[in-house]
Structure 1
Amino acid sequence: MKSLLLSTFDITGGAARAAFRLHQGLRKIDIDSQMLVQYKTSSDRTVIGAQNKPEKWLNQMRPTLDNLPLNLYAGDTSGKFSPQWFPDLIQSKIKPLSPDIINIHWACGYLQIESVAKFTQPLVWTLHDMWMFTGGCYYSLDCDRYLKSCGACVQLQSQKQQDLSRWIWQRKAKAWKQMNCTIVTPSIWLADCAKKSSLLQNFRIEVIPNGLDIQRYKPIEKKIAREWLNLPEDKQLLIFGAASTNHPRKGFNFLLSALQSLEQAGYKDKIELVVFGSSPPDEQKNLGFKLHYLGNLNDDITLALVYAAGDIFVAPSVQDNLPNTVMEALSCATPCVAFNIGGMCDMIEHQQNGYLAQPFEVESLAHGIAWILSDCDRLQRLRQRAREKAEQEFSQDLQARRYSHLFSKMLSKQHIKNKS
């Protein structure tokens, strides 16, 4: 069986890393997997990127050209919205590879909407956000217009029903009407959203959690991790990770408010905050707590050290699928605190391997942090269960075998259909 995974990136960003881990997992169980990407960063020979200068030049221009329609709207859509109208060359790149089955991952900026329906191979589409069933946004936040046909898009700040989001929704509805595709979502929450959506309500939808190499992300002695990272050994460390602390969806402001609440509760000289994935702002506010900014980290070894160095990983997102950061932290035996939203409850077992706070209640978030830190024996039990959860449900091998089983079933059906 030859599988081909399509992704805009191979290892840049959470969705790409999840796809790359699946690709590695499939190869480990002897599936002939290749990965076709728009931007290749890794040195993996089974990942295929742009192969000539014209293609690389087009890749550089594509995001700007694809986002041109957004200039007609006042909304801040940077990193939040994708029209997917610009033509691509995907068919000419897939044909010589002759895959038996195609698995699309996060491909915004890479594939034109209309191209997907032209694939002749059985198709599995793994969703890493809500884009496939919305009028262009990656996450709908408080909007439920994707249940019908979008239009008057809040994120575009549009008042017109016949706006860009409605046009994108209509293109998807037309192109994907007869598409032979199985949808995979990593979280139960995203599957429920997809099933309710007007675009995907008639598609087969499976839930397969992401996986990771639990031998790379594993418990490490806290003292050793902190020594390597030059972090204090006499403080309780909270870890936060995101590409940007300014992105509203990641909820960093809720964490800062929770820290202020903890300061008033007597934690001022006990807690320090470690932030990775983001650089320090030009003007840092005095939060009453010391902050350590580690910058952008891409290699698994350093990330595992960061998680292991922390007492708690905090993920205060307001909407999220199945974030890699939480899974990675659990695998390193670090309890997690998050709001009870999205796919968080698929990973965090309340008061068993972390704490699920009431959505968007700062005091509940602060209470969850304090509840974990206030009892050393409890913290140790949470750490043990965190690692067990990762081993039982989120290993790379388990994910790969689940996909392999799905691929085999789809190919068998295709074989029977072709014979008849």
Structure 2
Amino acid sequence: VNCDLYVRDADAAQRREEFASPDERILVHLSNFRPVKRLTDVVEIFDRVRKKVPSKLLLVGDGPDRSKAEWLAVQKGIHDHVIFLGKQDRVQEKLAISDVMLLPSELESFGLAALEAMACKVVPITTRVGGLPEVIEHGRNGFMAEVGDIDTMAQYAIDILSDENRLRIMGQQARAWAQARFCASKIIPQYEEFYRRVLERSS
């Protein structure tokens, strides 16, 4: 992750005003909208959160399940609060204005989307699949639940979004974790040193 690019920048507060009023929280989901990403679960989770916490949902990306998610948002009466942004070149600008990322995927390889969010001080709420348990320390810098457990993921979101201080601290911990373990500026020199040692041994 490029931690210089994925950062909560100075203009984030101003950009946030385009999407939400000052009393609203922002949840975000970023994917290719394929069935494995369970986009309708994202809408279901947000529907539960919205009943307890004034909020908006930003959906970044495009793909085959977009129309299902749009229809579900209409059915639930929350379409005015669900913002479909389509594909974005500068996703870090949307992450930087968000509070929580929802990632209820069935499959996730490395968990790059969660890491990019964490670098922007966004608290990830994900499923316990693929590489996500390597990226998230449950209860410290994010939350994990089982695939399809919409109620638990919604409750995690409600709890953290209702506690300003805890949200801020977890966001800071998420950023610190991403910086310490996954930032390109840290990782690349480690790889270079590793290869240098290997080459020295073989010569």
Instruction: Give me the TM-score of the superposition, normalised by structure 2.
Output: 0.84
CA displacement at 1:232 relative to structure 2: 1.8
Q: 2:87 matched to which residue of 1?
A: 296
Larger Rg: 1
Aligned counterparts of 1:283 and 1:366: Cα–Cα separation in 2: 17
CA displacement at 1:251 relative to structure 2: 2.0
Aligned counterparts of 2:197 and 2:68: Cα–Cα separation in 1: 53
Q: Match for 1:293: what amino acid?
A: F
CA contact (8 A) 2:6 2:119 kept: yes
- Aligned pairs (5 A) from 1:69-88: none
CA displacement at 1:271 relative to structure 2: 1.9
CA displacement at 1:275 relative to structure 2: 0.9
Aligned counterparts of 2:175 and 2:93: Cα–Cα separation in 1: 15
Aligned counterparts of 1:373 and 1:358: Cα–Cα separation in 2: 20
Is 1:266 the equivalent of 2:55?
A: no
Q: Match for 1:341: what amino acid?
A: V
Aligned counterparts of 2:180 and 2:14: Cα–Cα separation in 1: 26
Q: Deviations over 1:10-49 (max 9, x none)?
A: xxxxxxxxxxxxxxxxxxxxxxxxxxxxxxxxxxxxxxxx
Is 1:384 the equivalent of 2:175?
A: no
CA displacement at 1:317 relative to structure 2: 1.2
Aligned counterparts of 1:218 and 1:375: Cα–Cα separation in 2: 22
Q: Match for 1:274: what amino acid?
A: L
CA contact (8 A) 2:52 2:158 kept: no
CA contact (8 A) 2:36 2:105 kept: yes
CA contact (8 A) 1:241 1:278 kept: no
Q: Match for 1:226: what amino acid?
A: R
Aligned counterparts of 2:124 and 2:82: Cα–Cα separation in 1: 19
Aligned counterparts of 2:115 and 2:70: Cα–Cα separation in 1: 29
Is 1:408 the equivalent of 2:192?
A: no
Is 1:324 the equivalent of 2:112?
A: yes
Q: 2:153 matched to which residue of 1?
A: 365
Q: Match for 2:87: what amino acid?
A: N
CA 1:336 to 1:282, structure 2 compared with 1: closer, same or farther past 3 Å?
Answer: closer
CA 1:390 to 1:225, structure 2 compared with 1: closer, same or farther past 3 Å?
Answer: farther
Aligned counterparts of 2:68 and 2:175: Cα–Cα separation in 1: 37
CA displacement at 1:366 relative to structure 2: 0.9
More helix by share: 2
Q: Deviations over 1:366-390 (max 9, x none)?
A: 1111121111111111111111112
Give % identity. 21
Is 1:217 the equivalent of 2:6?
A: yes
**Unpaired runs of 5+ in structure 2?**
none
Runs of 4+ in 1 over 6 A off after TM superposition: none
RMSD of aligned residue pairs (Cα, Å): 2.2
Aligned counterparts of 2:49 and 2:172: Cα–Cα separation in 1: 25
- Aligned pairs (5 A) from 1:23-34: none
CA displacement at 1:293 relative to structure 2: 1.7
CA displacement at 1:260 relative to structure 2: 3.3
CA displacement at 1:409 relative to structure 2: 4.2
Is 1:305 the equivalent of 2:93?
A: yes
Higher relative contact order by CA 8 Å / sep ≥ 6: 1 or 2?
2
- Give the secondary-structure state (helix, strand or coil) at the position aligned to 1:255: helix
Is 1:249 the equivalent of 2:36?
A: yes
Aligned counterparts of 2:48 and 2:103: Cα–Cα separation in 1: 17
Q: 2:61 matched to which residue of 1?
A: 277
Aligned counterparts of 1:349 and 1:225: Cα–Cα separation in 2: 29
Instruction: Give me the TM-score of the superposition, normalised by structure 1.
Output: 0.43
Q: 1:166 matched to which residue of 2?
A: none
